Copies of this chain bind each other. A is one copy, B any other.
Amino acid sequence: MTKKIVYFWIQITTAMPLLSLKAIEMPASPIRKLVPYAEAAKKSGKTVYHLNIGQPDIDTPQTALDAIHNLDHRVLEYSHSAGFESYRIALAKNYQVEGINVNAEDIIVTTGGSEALIFGLMSTCNPGDEVIIPEPFYANYNGFAVMAGLKVVPVTAHIENGFALPPIDAIEKKITQKTKAIIICNPGNPTGYLYTQEELEQLKEIVQKHDLYLFADEVYREFCYDGAKPFSTMNLQGIEQNVVMIDSVSKRYSMCGARIGALISKNKDLMQAALKFGQARLSPPTVEQIAAEAALQTPKRYFDEVVAEYVLRRNIMVEGLNNIPGVFCPKPNGAFYCVAKLPVENAAHFCQWLLEEFSFENQTVMMAPADGFYATQGAGLNEVRIAYVLKKEHLKAAIKCIAVALEEYIGTTN
């Protein structure tokens, strides 16, 4: 409401052509405010350990890079609006090998997982409709909701139980006449929490009962640890028409810049509608689709090595954090993020202070204040999201920084 007031105030006081209400409502990135401080810290000569972004340092599989180097096109033509047929067929086969119930005709290749969610939301939800999302959640869901004119209704998950699915009746209580969908991310960004099949079956019941869509962002599927197996929403029996899976090559093959994702559903009407959105934007990128298709040939040992590396990093990070007095960090078994509670009142202020004021052996750390991942005002104020995407030596140095910093910060502010 306040944003609307600001908007109309601008409307009255400016002589310029106005921007839209969406331009005002569109959220900036949760770390945007910190970026200038990180840049200043680096300019001053400090080493900044970036625990704030989910950009892995893992090599892209050689098979994908080779496909790019060996591209033999004379003309970089459009692909089909749903993506190259050969890629869709190969991708479906890949899902089937993983035991996930997907056929080629259930797939529209999109420009990143982002576009898949935008097409999915626009195809199913009217402006003013509500989408329920367990929080903390991937902050850009807010942006996609604004684009589609939707209201995000959060249900708070809690750090105490590692951000497990909130009690199903807490979710059901949020369902209104306007509720159209539930969005989950599994394994989760920012929590790293992997939903159990039981939790997903609970969700299935209310999805079925209230005839909702269930959007499942499963882009971290390969990153499951300690023997945990991901259960795909595509395998939930009886709600095949309600499930929309979002996928992407970004994290799986460390190809974030490729912008190749997929919208996946058994609901043919939805897929037909989504394809119209796809036709309007013509096609996803050609070269990187070819690379994504080649990436499907990545040998299993690549993932074994990557997963082993992330387990190592997670263990260093989570144990290191929990060894700092007053810090609590549940041990997630998926993705490459964790959320930690810090012994501070305002983690955003602490994160800024780390960049602006703090230095230990000329090093400091950039983290993402977790409040940006909550839609509930005031939630997560003393939490940070950490992406453990750095080499172990750097993670250890970063943990040392955080420990020294907290001691100093608490001494200063108390």
Contact = CB atoms under 8 A, between A and B. Distances in A.
Interface of A: 15-24, 26-29, 32, 55-60, 64-65, 68-71, 73-79, 111-112, 114-115, 118, 122-127, 129, 140, 143-144, 147, 149, 180, 211-213, 241-242, 254-259, 267, 269-270, 273-274, 276-277, 279-288, 291
A270 B10 CA distance: 13
Contacts of A259: 111, 282-286
A18 to B, nearest CB: 8
Contacts of A71: 65, 68-69
Nearest to A22: B122
Contacts of A257: 76-79, 283, 285-287
A242 B36 CA distance: 29
Contact of A60 (B17, B74, B127, B280): B74
A23 B263 CA distance: 15
A123 B18 CA distance: 9
Contact of A115 (B29, B180, B279, B281): B281
Contacts of A56: 75
A288 B281 CA distance: 16
Nearest to A60: B76
A118 B16 CA distance: 21
Nearest to A15: B211
Contacts of A277: 26, 143, 147
Contact of A73 (B27, B60, B125): B60
Contacts of A23: 122-124, 269-270, 273-274, 276
Given A143-B277, A286-B257, A270 B19 contact: yes
Number of copies: 2
A369 B21 CA distance: 37
Contacts of A258: 76, 285-287
10 contacts: A19-B269, A19-B270, A22-B122, A26-B276, A29-B279, A65-B73, A78-B257, A114-B282, A256-B282, A258-B285
Nearest to A273: B23
Contact of A19 (B17, B74, B114, B124): B124
Contact of A149 (B58, B127, B211, B288): B127
A236 B65 CA distance: 44
Contacts of A273: 19-20, 23-24, 26
Nearest to A213: B17
A256 to B, nearest CB: 5
Contacts of A280: 26-27, 114, 140, 143-144, 147
A241 B24 CA distance: 18
Given A20-B124, A59-B74, A285-B285, 16 more contacts: A16-B269, A17-B212, A18-B124, A19-B123, A20-B273, A23-B124, A27-B276, A27-B280, A29-B279, A76-B291, A112-B281, A114-B281, A118-B281, A127-B127, A140-B279, A143-B276
A248 to B, nearest CB: 10
Contact of A69 (B69, B126, B242): B69
A207 to B, nearest CB: 9
Q: What are the 4 A-B residue pairs with the smallest beta carbon separation, nearest first? A: A257-B286, A143-B280, A23-B273, A114-B281
Contacts of A26: 273, 276-277, 280
Contacts of A285: 111, 257-259, 285, 287-288
B77 A124 contact: no
A28 to B, nearest CB: 6
Contacts of A55: 77-78
